[in-house]
Amino acid sequence: MDIIIKIFGEGKDLTLSQMSARAFVVYFIALALIHISGKRTFGKKSAFDITITIILGAVLSRAVVGASPFMATVAACLVLVLIHRILGWVILYSKPVSKLLKGEKILLYQDGHINERNLHKCLMTQDDLMSDVRLKANEDTLNNVKEIYMENTGELSIVKKKD
């Protein structure tokens, strides 16, 4: 036990090498937790997924700097990841829970009409909308665009008219 305390330290008064050793271990713990959490945590970028990323970073940092007990911090992170994983499974089978946790797409444009109310709801201007049309659809007008949605990830998706 003395060797572990010598390597990783105790409390907040950590040496450079002790904090580095903690960072090394926490890195691999974070990788394991992210693996448990699932690949979508970093792939989808929805509020549901970003939340776990932010919280894990904040809580695990406490283990590195010795602000909280190491094992208790890792255990708390494991609980957070398991909650995220369980909610992910619930989302698969419950549309209302999915809508609550992830949100849903918002129609911004359809068949020649911009939905100003939804545009404002998304804190976007028509210039913002057209910027995305140029970047994502390679169009500088809406003539060839059927629909535009703000997805629950914050990205715009553009559906072009069929030729």
Asked if 156 and 149 touch (Cβ cutoff 8 Å), the reply is yes
Overall average pLDDT of the 134-154 stretch: 93
Query: Average pLDDT over the chain, rounded to whole?
Result: 90
Q: Tell me what pLDDT residue 153 has.
A: 84
Q: Tell me what pLDDT residue 163 has.
A: 72
**Could you tell me what percent of the chain has a pLDDT over 90?**
66
Q: Tell me what pLDDT residue 48 has.
A: 79
Q: Tell me what pLDDT residue 60 has.
A: 95
The pLDDT tens digits of the residues spanning 136-145 come to: 999 999 999 9
The span from the CA of 106 to the CA of 131, in Å, is: 18
Q: Which stretches of the chain are assigned E, i.e. beta strand?
A: 106-110, 113-114, 145-150, 156-160
* Per-residue exposure over 32-49, b if at least 16 CB sit within 10 Å of its own CB, e if not: ebbeebbeebeebbbebb
Decide which of 1 and 13 is more confident.
Answer: 13
The pLDDT tens digits of the residues spanning 79-107 come to: 999 999 999 899 999 999 989 988 899 99
Q: Tell me what pLDDT residue 41 has.
A: 66
Written as one letter, the residue type at 128 is D
Instruction: Using the predicted structure, report yes or no on whether residue 40 has a pLDDT greater than 70.
Output: no
Q: Tell me what pLDDT residue 90 has.
A: 94
* Angle formed at CA 158 by CA 131 and CA 134, multiple of 5 degrees: 25
At residue 113 the predicted structure's pLDDT band, cuts being 50, 70 and 90, is very high
Instruction: Using the predicted structure, report yes or no on whether residue 44 has a pLDDT greater than 70.
Output: no
The pLDDT tens digits of the residues spanning 49-66 come to: 888 889 999 999 999 999
- The two tokens of residue 37 are 């959490």
Phi-psi region of 110 (alpha: psi -120 to 50; beta: other; left: phi over 0): beta
Q: Tell me what pLDDT residue 55 has.
A: 93
Find the helix or strand (DSSP H, E) in which 102 lies. Answer: helix 95-102
- Residue 22: CB atoms within 10 A of its CB come to 20
Domains recognised in the chain with CATH numbers: 2-100 (no CATH), 105-160 (3.30.240.20)
- The conformation of residue 162, written as its DSSP 8-state character, comes to P
The span from the CA of 55 to the CA of 61, in Å, is: 10
